[in-house]
Amino acid sequence: MTLVTAAAPLKRTPLHSLHLALGAKMVPFAGYEMPVQYPSGILNEHLHTRSQAGLFDVSHMGQLRLVGGDPVKALEALVPGDLLALASWRMRYTLLLSEAGGILDDLMATRLEDGLVLVVNAARKEADLAHLRARLDRSTTVELLEDQALLALQGPAAATVLSDFCEGIARLGFMTATETTLAGCKCLVTRSGYTGEDGFEISLPADGAAAVAEMLLARPEVRPIGLGARDSLRLEAGLCLYGHDIDETTTPIEAALAWAIGKRRCAEGGFPGASVVLRQLAEGAARTRVGIQPDGRAPAREDTPILNAAGATIGRLTSGGFGPSVGAPIAMGYVDRRHAAAGTPLALLVRGTARPARVVRLPFVQHRYHRG
Amino acid sequence: MSTLRFTRDHEWVRLDGDLAIVGITDYAQSQLGDVVYVELPEIGHRVKKGKEAAVVESVKAASEVYAPVSGEVAEINQMLTTEPAIVNADPMGDGWFIKLRLDDPKELDSLMDEEGYRRFIEEQP
């Protein structure tokens, strides 16, 4: 007799009905049913985001609140970033590290007056919650904000659009947060994102999400964008996707994320894996994450072997696909550090054939973060 | 009478004189999404019915195009190299992939006709 276990039903975000009404093609992602694209397609959604404004439902991601005790000091003990210097209403990209210096998750930490709000990857939120609860100082509590939605409005028109609903929002600094009201809902808005464009992320109660989304989508500049374009946008921006470009087997140095290690933390240590990380910082790591561009038109995807001129395997791709704004295939992967210099010729083994490629500097598309 | 035939893998084949033109169907292109790259076989290459003849890639994934019939590649659609999006725009016409010199015209008989294919895709989940 064979026992067939029914798969757990997929979770839904507060915008599920809206996605269906917009004609989204839904797919499973991190235990959620998410829109991979809408009728216009991934290419159009991607290009639209870089030319006007795209609205993304990222409510599947984990939003965590740390309060009590000294939350900033407590979290700092688990990450390599300088959080003590983070002012209220400012945010920082950082990493949860393991004792071996591997990356448990990458996240955004926003300092509020009474604590911190973290945005973590959907696939890692349960693991992160357990990790934080086990490792944070006892006086600090962690709460997963289950009834909170998260929207991202990204693109050169994002600030203009949001200004119509929130006067002065265009002046919000990059990596800064503010509280405001949209469609009658209290929101925490940050100037940040995952596309390389100017944009905002809007955290708000789940029951207000559809109204805010519809309000923004009513603007001609704004179109709904699915996970397919979210992935091609972040790849062009040279941003890591957890579980692919970074994971527990990659250190921040190998991942070319040394900039996330605070200067003071380099001197003081005091974070998990510090001995490994600081040694690699001093001596270099054996392998490193680089951008790779195939010379031809054939895309090369995750797990593609990377070969040197002699045909020996020197690494593998961790992300790869077609870059709509670049108009060509693009990829990221890890190579032996001797092959990491920009311009280094490589080959990618695709369908049994070695295809010429070369190491290129990231990002593939220049970031256009608000620096005003 | 139309010699347009379809496979269960959503390829179509149509006789044009002594050559068989092969492409993917409208259903296939809509499932694939935006086509960004097509890899075609060399002229003279031999394909076997049911075996891989070409590769078509969307933004998200690569898919194999299987030969609906056996034969020798006589022509390839060079336009797909520079304009892969034609596969989405006109999958049954200008988006053709290859033209084959057929080994055995009887191989067409076991393929679905237009009505049969229409019913087949209605049954797709």
pLDDT of A4: 61
Instruction: Give φ, ψ of A258 to 5 degrees.
Output: -60, -25
Facing residue for A42 by CB, picked from B33, B37, B39: B33
**Tokens, residue A8:** 């757990």
Predicted confidence (pLDDT) per residue in A329-343, tens digit: 999 999 999 999 999
Mutate to test the interface with B, among A38, A47, A297, A355 (most CBs of B within 10 A): A297
Facing residue for B37 by CB, picked from A36, A46, A298: A298
Burial class (CB in 10 A: 0-12, 13-18, 19+), A239: buried
Residue B88 is inside which H or E element, if any?
Answer: helix B86-89
Q: Name the residue in chain B with its Cα closest to that of A231.
A: B60
Separation CA A13–CA B98 (nearest Å): 44
Going by the DSSP 8-state scheme, the letter that residue B30 receives in this structure is H
Separation CA A290–CA A81 (nearest Å): 22
pLDDT of A309: 87
pTM of the entire predicted model: 0.95
Separation CA A209–CA A187 (nearest Å): 10
Mutate to test the interface with A, among B30, B31, B32, B34 (most CBs of A within 10 A): B34
Mutate to test the interface with B, among A38, A43, A241 (most CBs of B within 10 A): A43
**Tokens, residue A221:** 């500049």
What is the ipTM, given to two decimal places?
Answer: 0.89
Whether the CB-CB separation of B29 and B91 falls below 8 Å is answered with yes
Strands of the sheet with B62-66, listed across from one edge: B35-39, B52-58, B62-66
Q: Across residues A125-142, what is the average pLDDT?
A: 97
Nearest to B37 by CA among B20, B13, B54: B54
pLDDT of A1: 53
Predicted confidence (pLDDT) per residue in A4-29, tens digit: 656 778 999 999 999 999 999 999 99
Domain spans in chain A, listed from the N-terminal domain onward? 8-238, 286-360
Domain spans in chain B, listed from the N-terminal domain onward? 5-104
- Provide the residue type at A283 as one letter: E
CA distance B81 to chain A (A): 8
CA angle B113, B114, B120 (to 5 degrees): 90
Give residues with Cβ within 8 angstroms of B102, minimum separation 6: B18, B19, B20, B69, B70, B71
pLDDT of B2: 64
Q: State in Å, rounded, how far the first CA of chain B is from the last one.
A: 31
CA angle B39, A240, A153 (to 5 degrees): 95
Q: Name the residue in chain B with its Cα closest to that of A328.
A: B36
Q: Across residues A252-267, what is the average pLDDT?
A: 96
Q: Under DSSP, is residue A157 helix (H, G, I), strand (E, B) or coil?
A: coil
pLDDT of A6: 63
Percent above pLDDT 70 for chain A: 98
> Could you confirm whether domain A286-360 is CATH 3.20.20.100?
no
Predicted confidence (pLDDT) per residue in A262-300, tens digit: 999 999 999 999 999 999 999 999 999 999 999 999 999
Nearest to A216 by CA among A236, A240, A200, A227: A200
Going by the DSSP 8-state scheme, the letter that residue A60 receives in this structure is T
pLDDT of A324: 97
Run means of pLDDT, 10 residues per run, chain B, 125 residues: 88 93 97 96 97 95 95 98 96 98 93 96 88
Helix axes A227-236, A42-51, angle to 10 degrees: 60
Beta strands per DSSP E along A38-184: 53-57, 62-67, 91-97, 103-112, 115-120, 141-144, 148-154, 177-182
Q: Under DSSP, is residue A127 helix (H, G, I), strand (E, B) or coil?
A: helix
Strands of the sheet with B46-47, listed across from one edge: B5-6, B11-16, B19-24, B98-102, B71-76, B46-47
Predicted confidence (pLDDT) per residue in A33-82, tens digit: 999 999 999 999 999 999 999 999 999 999 999 999 999 999 999 999 99
Nearest to A319 by CA among A268, A276, A364: A364
Architecture of the domain spanning A8-238: 2-Layer Sandwich (3.30)
Chain B hits for A228, Cβ within 8 Å: 33, 59-60
Burial B37-74 (b: 16+ CB within 10 A, else e): bbbbbeeeeebebeeebbbbbbbbebbebbbbbbbebe
Q: Name the residue in chain B with its Cα closest to that of A330.
A: B59
pLDDT of B26: 97
> Could you confirm whether domain B5-104 is CATH 2.40.50.100?
yes
pLDDT higher than threshold 80 for residue A2: no
Q: Is the peptide bond before A363 cis (omega within 30 degrees of 0)?
A: yes
Q: Across residues A107-111, what is the average pLDDT?
A: 98
pLDDT of B124: 84
